[in-house]
Amino acid sequence: MQQQAKRLLKLALNPVLVLLSLMSSGVWAATAEKAEHWRGNMTPGVTEVGHKIYDLHMLVFWICVVVGIIVFGLMFYSVFAYRKERHSEPATFHENTKLEIAWTVVPFLLLIIMAVPATKVLIEVYDTDDAAQDILITGYQWKWKYEYINPNGDNVTFFSNLRTPESEIGNEEEKGSNYLLEVDEPVVLPVNSKTRFLVTANDVLHAWWVPELAVKRDAIPGFVNEAWTKPTETGVYRGQCAELCGRNHGFMPIVVNVVEQEEYDQWLAGKLAEAAELKELMAKEFTMDELVARGKKVYERNCLACHGANGEGGVGKAIAGSPLATGSTKGHLDVIVNGVPGTAMQAFGGQLNEVDLAAVTTYQRNAFGNNMGDMLQPVDVYKFKKGQ
Amino acid sequence: MAHGPAKGFSRWLFTTNHKDIGTMYLWFSFAMFLLGGSFAMIIRAELFQPGLQIVDPAFFNQMTTMHGLVMVFGAIMPAFVGLANWMIPLMIGAPDMALPRMNNWSFWILPPTFLILASSLFMEGGAPNFGWTFYAPLSTTYAPPSVTLFIFSVHAMGISSIMGSINIIATIVNMRAPGMTYMKMPLFVWTWLITAFLLVAVMPVLAGAVTMMLMDIHFGTSFFSAAGGGDPVLFQHVFWFFGHPEVYIIILPAFGVVSEIIPVFSRKPLFGYDSMVYATASIAFLSFIVWAHHMYTVGLPLAGELFYMYATMLIAVPTAAKVFNWITTMFKGSITLETPMLFAIAKVFLFTVGGFSGLMLAIAPADFQYHDSYFVVAHFHYTMVAGAIFALSAAVYYWLPKWTGKMYNEAMGKTHFWISFIGFNLTFFPQHFAGLAGMPRRIPDYNMMFADFNMMSSIGAFIYGSSQLLFLFNIVRTITHGKPVNSDKVWEGATTLEWTVPSPAPYHTFTTPPEVK
Amino acid sequence: MSKANENIAKTAGKLSVLVVAMFAFAMWVMPPLYNAMCDLLGINGKTRGQYTVVESSVDTERVVKVQFVAQNNEMMPWEFGPNTSQVEVHPGEPATVTFFAKNNESRYMVSQSIPSIVPSRAVEYFHKTECFCFNQQPLAAGASADMPLRFIVDRDLPKDIHVITLSYTIFDVTERAAAQDSVAAQ
């Protein structure tokens, strides 16, 4: 009796496991939509194409589940029913042409059922024409640059860096809910408007991926790739780099802020004004306090990750008391503008504007106990860059 | 000397005996399996929870790269070559491999090669850190100095594989026993014949890819750099022209193993032998025209994208036929569930799950969401680990009594199976969800929304990893303390030629060819 | 040599030829083949070489917007960008625009600009009769230049394409150019 029960249990175990895993996937898929904070399935996102991709994904998924139940059902039935104990005389058949033809033709038909909608969606994804705005996205090790292309040539350009502090990554502080998915300056898009992305890279390959926008495109140095989106809901959507790009591949998120058209126009106008203001700032004479205050912010965004909050160093060299930061202003600026080839020290000359370069250099020379007392004006940086 | 092996270390160093070489291949691959596995343990330990705990992101990248390289080129491929060395001559009634001295070479290239590759971990700048797919320009302009050692290693293991494959083809084509026509060969031999052709065709392409890298790095060419008129995307085309057949190189011999084991433990001949052969051949053929499905997001023209999507979906047809054949073989059989059969059934089951996710990945628009996410990681581990490593485990339990003349411990074998099965699924099933939720692959740290999946996955990985120590223990114990087998045939349902020779198989077998009816 | 050994040697020989052939295929056939395919299909939007005008009738019914974007590859410190952000042209009508480049470094440098067009379907209909990207561009320290691009959009451009974006990425090829010169000098 006991033996039989044991055997039954053993026999029951196999199909149970299969069903469990199959069902769990189905249940997870179904509940995922309800539980907002907890996702376990592909997001349909906030675009029409995204919904179509999601439907396609679920269509193929359910076809697989049904085929799986039939195939695995048959398999575990065979294992269960034709055990040697109860079926000691095996059959001897080993061929059946009709059967073979049937299970070649049936999967083929199923494939056609999947291929037709897939083709339609793909053609739609490739239709990048007639966009209301074009954004050039450039992948850098390890940040994104966005350039809003303006027909009159006044492009709005900015970098988007990871904002999560080192202390959260190093587990010294509690992690915020957008841990590793937050940036200092998000991309802003208008809702219900077609935006075209031109994706490229500055150094190695990257890939720009925002699940809710159903966009993933490889960024390839030297070449431009296209993608487009038309979000139908406002909101903040987060994504990450999807192509291995070196050490900080996991630390270059994407944040897209989809807003009403009006708000977008305001934002864009603001950015343009900011650029104009920058031109003015170039001409302005800064005080030491202004430079240090501005420089501190620039430092925290661009330098802190490698050089530490107190200039103590880390991946990068220490700044506190370093011969460079306490040497000539020109030498110091040179390293910040041009980087140190072959090391992690990048050239910031193309990434920061003259005001920020002047500010951060001045800050480094007057913080962390480097009380040099000297300062750089934006126009000095401008001259340095021109005169190089 | 003609009847036994030499003594001591020189026996192994100079041996030309297919069984000795097969044994060395198998032990080597097991060692690499444990090495690659320990890299995986480091990866999973770091990913156990959000935040950086154990390793630096740069080292993490080295671990993912080395894990992939060691598992693919050091563990799985040499393990199947080991099985081929041991079993193909026995299965076709040949006295040895066709080119025994080259056989010795092709093995002995491997240990120093992997020693060099592993030693790059201690170099300045660290080991290769650009992923096992080593996409340019991360692997060229931006690579650590160890990339040169890496290129050298890839060349060496390519040469080893090519020599091994030439040997296998030459053996199968020329040394079958009288009466052993092609359509009478066991399926393991058939799948290896096709695999060997794939290897001969694509390993040189891999060699070409790394040679172009080498020239770009050291000789100023620009195959993969846009600055000099090259193109980084060209690298991906060349790599996947090798890489896609490569994954079938890994899986086809596993199909062969399962096609041997299922009929034996079902006590019923394999269903649809002919269609199995044709299906294998068509899978091999298709593998040459689908490579760009690894590159759906790279910006292919629409027509190209559609072509590769349709071609990729087609692979489901011959693969499904194989699965149906295995199941129909079991149908109305007389089944017993010894350890090899358990692993074989699990392989069919889990590989099919991997096949389903593969079909999903084939759908180009949906792939825009799956691509380079953990969904892909889950998919290829279902095919590589469950597909290839489960088949290898099945093969070891199945043929171990033939190799040693001793029976492994069945209870321990079954325990190994169940722990592996549970550990494997716990590791890789949640990764589907993590990927669908938006987790990219190859990242050392992640947002909290992926935390549950990753913790499950890490626990599963530790379970699966430690169960392999039980596997090792069982093998060693069989060799030292195993009970001698009851009969040379070992398995009641066995029919192939290798079971007609004594167990353990003597040093020289089939010196006079058997007569096959 | 016995018959069996002879057969084995034959098989191994044939396979070795296959190995060498496949290596050669990867090294010397795949790259040019890929470039040919790029040309044919517009992969990566690689534009074609210099175009000679055959016919010059202008389709005044249609207007196509041609956008210009530019970026610097890493380690390329020049100022570089289009002087005109976009132009509207009729298919068949030649147009000229210029790109600005300035070498802010204190040394002589050579650049190479790599063009890329999207949508890639437009590549075969975008003809450049003159382009700075055909050659490397040297600039002395502190020097600047307006570099011309002269093009014609083909009349056969598919009707559903209204916007063509032409991107240039500028690379620093100073060392590469120096290496080529020294080879040429020998």
Given a cut of 50, whether residue A1 has pLDDT beyond it is no
Closest of C140, C166, C175 to residue C65, by C-alpha: C166
Instruction: Express as a percent the part of chain B with pLDDT over 90.
Output: 91
What is the complex's ipTM, to 2 decimals?
0.92
pLDDT of residue C61: 85
Closest of B277, B17, B276, B183 to residue B516, by C-alpha: B183
Set of chain B residues whose Cβ sits within 8 Å of the Cβ of A169: 51-52, 445
Q: Smallest Cβ distance to A198: which of C69, C82, C161?
A: C69
Given a cut of 50, whether residue A34 has pLDDT beyond it is no
Catalytic residue, chosen from B64, B65, B259, B329, is: B259
CA distance A283 to A355: 10
Copy the structure tokens of residue B107. 């093995």
Q: What is the CATH number of the domain that holds A110?
A: 1.10.287.90
Q: How confident is the model at residue A38 (pLDDT cuts 50, 70, 90)?
A: low
pLDDT of residue B222: 87
- pLDDT tens column, B46-100: 999 999 999 999 999 999 999 999 999 999 999 999 999 999 999 999 999 999 9
Q: Are β-strands A156-160 and A235-241 bridged in parallel, bridged antiparallel, or unpaired?
A: unpaired
Q: What is the CATH number of the domain that holds A217?
A: 2.60.40.420
The residue of chain A with its CA nearest to that of B57 is A247
Q: Smallest Cβ distance to A388: which of C105, C114, C160?
A: C105
Task: Report, as an integer, the average pLDDT of B362-368.
Answer: 95
Residue A58: inside a domain: yes
Question: Would you call B218 a catalytic residue per the annotation?
Answer: no
More confident residue, A329 or B374: B374
Helix (H, G, I), strand (E, B), or coil: what is residue B27? helix
Query: Measured between CB atoms, does C86 come within 8 Å of chain A?
Result: yes
Given a cut of 70, whether residue C103 has pLDDT beyond it is yes
Given a cut of 50, whether residue B403 has pLDDT beyond it is yes
pLDDT of residue A288: 86
Query: Rg (Cα) of chain C, in Å, rounded?
Result: 23
Whether residues A50 and A100 share a domain: the answer is yes
C-beta atoms of A204 and B142 within 8 A: yes
B218 burial level (CB within 10 Å; 0-12, 13-18, 19+): exposed
Whether residues A353 and A382 share a domain: the answer is yes
The CATH superfamily label for domain B17-500 reads Cytochrome c oxidase-like, subunit I domain (1.20.210.10)
**Is there a contact between A247 and B61 (Cβ–Cβ < 8 Å)?**
yes
Given a cut of 80, whether residue A3 has pLDDT beyond it is no
Per the listing, tokens 């190089």 go with A388
Q: Which of B356, B431, B446 to mutate to test the interface with A (most CBs of A within 10 A)?
A: B356
Query: Measured between CB atoms, does C84 come within 8 Å of chain A?
Result: yes
Set of chain B residues whose Cβ sits within 8 Å of the Cβ of C44: 231, 233, 299
Q: Smallest Cβ distance to B330: which of A18, A79, A248?
A: A79
Question: Would you call B517 a catalytic residue per the annotation?
Answer: no
Q: Which of B183, B372, B492 to mutate to test the interface with A (most CBs of A within 10 A)?
A: B372
Task: Report, as an integer, the average pLDDT of B395-421.
Answer: 96
Q: Smallest Cβ distance to A40: which of B138, B433, B441?
A: B433
Q: In B15-99, where does DSSP find H-type helix?
A: 18-46, 57-69, 77-92
pLDDT of residue A2: 56
Task: State the chains in contact with B (3 or more Cβ–Cβ pairs under 8 Å).
Answer: A, C
Q: How confident is the model at residue B1 (pLDDT cuts 50, 70, 90)?
A: very low
- What amino acid is encoded at A173 in this protein? E
Catalytic residue, chosen from B15, B106, B160, B503, is: B160
Whether residues A7 and A110 share a domain: the answer is yes
Set of chain B residues whose Cβ sits within 8 Å of the Cβ of C12: 98-99, 166-167, 170
Strand boundaries in chain C, DSSP class E: 64-72, 79-82, 86-89, 94-102, 109-118, 126-131, 137-139, 144-153, 163-172
Set of chain C residues whose Cβ sits within 8 Å of the Cβ of A149: 67, 69, 85
Given a cut of 80, whether residue A11 has pLDDT beyond it is no
CB within 8 A of A280, min separation 6: which ones?
none
The residue of chain A with its CA nearest to that of B447 is A179
- pLDDT tens column, B91-132: 999 999 999 999 999 999 999 999 999 999 999 889 999 999
Closest CA of chain A from C160, distance in Å: 8
Rounded to 5 degrees, φ, ψ at A236 are -110, 125
Residue A172: inside a domain: no
Which residues face A280 on adjacent strands? Answer: none
Count other Cβ atoms within 10 Å, centred on residue A21: 17
Task: Report, as an integer, the average pLDDT of A176-191.
Answer: 94
Task: Report, as an integer, the average pLDDT of B369-386.
Answer: 96
Q: How confident is the model at residue B15 (pLDDT cuts 50, 70, 90)?
A: very high
Average pLDDT, chain A: 86
- pLDDT tens column, C35-55: 888 877 777 767 667 777 666
**Is there a contact between B196 and B83 (Cβ–Cβ < 8 Å)?**
no
Q: How confident is the model at residue A20 (pLDDT cuts 50, 70, 90)?
A: low
- pLDDT tens column, A159-179: 999 988 888 999 888 999 999
Question: Would you call B322 a catalytic residue per the annotation?
Answer: yes
Question: Would you call B268 a catalytic residue per the annotation?
Answer: no
Closest of B246, B283, B248, B275 to residue B259, by C-alpha: B275
Task: Print the domain residue range for A159.
Answer: 133-164+177-276
C-beta atoms of A222 and B336 within 8 A: no
Copy the structure tokens of residue B450. 């992926």
Copy the structure tokens of residue C128. 């450049």
Closest CA of chain A from B265, distance in Å: 9
**Is there a contact between C129 and C171 (Cβ–Cβ < 8 Å)?**
no
CA distance B152 to B130: 16
pLDDT of residue A33: 45
Catalytic residue, chosen from B18, B155, B176, B322, is: B322
CA distance B384 to B381: 5
End-to-end CA distance of chain C: 52
The residue of chain A with its CA nearest to that of C82 is A153
Set of chain C residues whose Cβ sits within 8 Å of the Cβ of B209: 26
Whether residues A354 and A373 share a domain: the answer is yes
Cα→Cα distances A162→A141, A165, A309, A315, Å: 12, 8, 16, 16
DSSP string, C101-131: EE--SSS-EEEEEEEEEESGGGGGGEEEEEE
Question: Would you call B441 a catalytic residue per the annotation?
Answer: yes
Whether residues A113 and A191 share a domain: the answer is no
pLDDT of residue C170: 92
Residue-level length of chain B: 517
Given a cut of 70, whether residue A149 has pLDDT beyond it is yes
More confident residue, A375 or B270: B270
Cα→Cα distances A59→A113, A118, A147, A214, Å: 9, 10, 37, 17
Closest CA of chain B from C9, distance in Å: 8
Give residue ranges of B with CB < 8 Å to any C CB. 98-99, 162, 165-167, 169-170, 173-175, 200-209, 211-212, 220, 222-223, 226-231, 233-234, 237-238, 241-242, 299-304
Query: Measured between CB atoms, does C43 come within 8 Å of chain B?
Result: yes
B221 burial level (CB within 10 Å; 0-12, 13-18, 19+): middle
pLDDT of residue A29: 52
Judged by CB atoms within 8 Å, which residues 100-129 of C form the interface with A? 104-106, 114, 116-119
The residue of chain B with its CA nearest to that of C170 is B227
Give me the residue spans of the domains in chain B. 17-500
Judged by CB atoms within 8 Å, which residues 74-103 of C form the interface with B? none
pLDDT of residue C121: 85
Residue A218: inside a domain: yes
Q: CB pairs below 8 Å between A and B: how many?
A: 281
Helix (H, G, I), strand (E, B), or coil: what is residue B192? helix
Whether residues A152 and A252 share a domain: the answer is yes
Q: Cis peptide leading into B137, omega within 30 of 0?
A: yes
pLDDT of residue B69: 96
- pLDDT tens column, B433-448: 999 999 999 999 999 9
pLDDT of residue A32: 47
Q: How confident is the model at residue A28 (pLDDT cuts 50, 70, 90)?
A: low
C-beta atoms of C173 and B233 within 8 A: no
Task: Report, as an integer, the average pLDDT of A113-140.
Answer: 93
Whether residues A271 and A322 share a domain: the answer is no
Closest CA of chain C from A199, distance in Å: 10
Question: Would you call B96 a catalytic residue per the annotation?
Answer: yes
Residue A252: inside a domain: yes
Copy the structure tokens of residue B208. 């070409």
Given a cut of 70, whether residue A211 has pLDDT beyond it is yes
Question: Would you call B7 a catalytic residue per the annotation?
Answer: no
Q: How confident is the model at residue B10 (pLDDT cuts 50, 70, 90)?
A: confident
Q: Smallest Cβ distance to C26: which of B175, B200, B209?
A: B209
Task: Report, as an integer, the average pLDDT of A181-209.
Answer: 95
Task: Report, as an integer, the average pLDDT of B465-478.
Answer: 96
Task: Report, as an integer, the average pLDDT of B208-223.
Answer: 92
Reading phi first (left if > 0) and then psi (alpha if -120 to 50, else beta), residue B267 is in left
Cα→Cα distances B399→A57, A377, B30, B233, Å: 42, 78, 16, 44
Closest CA of chain B from A135, distance in Å: 17
Whether residues A218 and A268 share a domain: the answer is yes
Question: Would you call B161 a catalytic residue per the annotation?
Answer: yes
pLDDT of residue B370: 95
Set of chain B residues whose Cβ sits within 8 Å of the Cβ of A103: 320-321, 324
Set of chain B residues whose Cβ sits within 8 Å of the Cβ of A16: none
Rounded to 5 degrees, φ, ψ at B356 are -60, -50
Query: Measured between CB atoms, does C135 come within 8 Å of chain B?
Result: no
Q: How confident is the model at residue C130 (pLDDT cuts 50, 70, 90)?
A: confident
Instruction: Express as a percent the part of chain B with pLDDT over 70.
Output: 99
Set of chain C residues whose Cβ sits within 8 Å of the Cβ of B166: 11-12, 15-16, 19
pLDDT of residue A324: 85
HSE, side-chain direction, 13 A CA sphere, residue C179: 10
Closest CA of chain A from C45, distance in Å: 7
Whether residues A88 and A204 share a domain: the answer is no
Whether residues A290 and A376 share a domain: the answer is yes
pLDDT of residue A353: 83
Helix axes B100-108, B147-174, angle to 10 degrees: 160
| Number of compact structural domains in chain A | 3
Task: Report, as an integer, the average pLDDT of A275-297.
Answer: 83
Given a cut of 80, whether residue C23 has pLDDT beyond it is yes
The residue of chain C with its CA nearest to that of B298 is C44
Query: Measured between CB atoms, does C42 come within 8 Å of chain B?
Result: yes
pLDDT of residue A22: 55
3-state helix, strand, coil in chain A (%, to 5): 45, 15, 35
- What amino acid is encoded at B109 in this protein? I
Given a cut of 60, whether residue A19 has pLDDT beyond it is no
More confident residue, A354 or B276: B276
Set of chain B residues whose Cβ sits within 8 Å of the Cβ of C35: 231
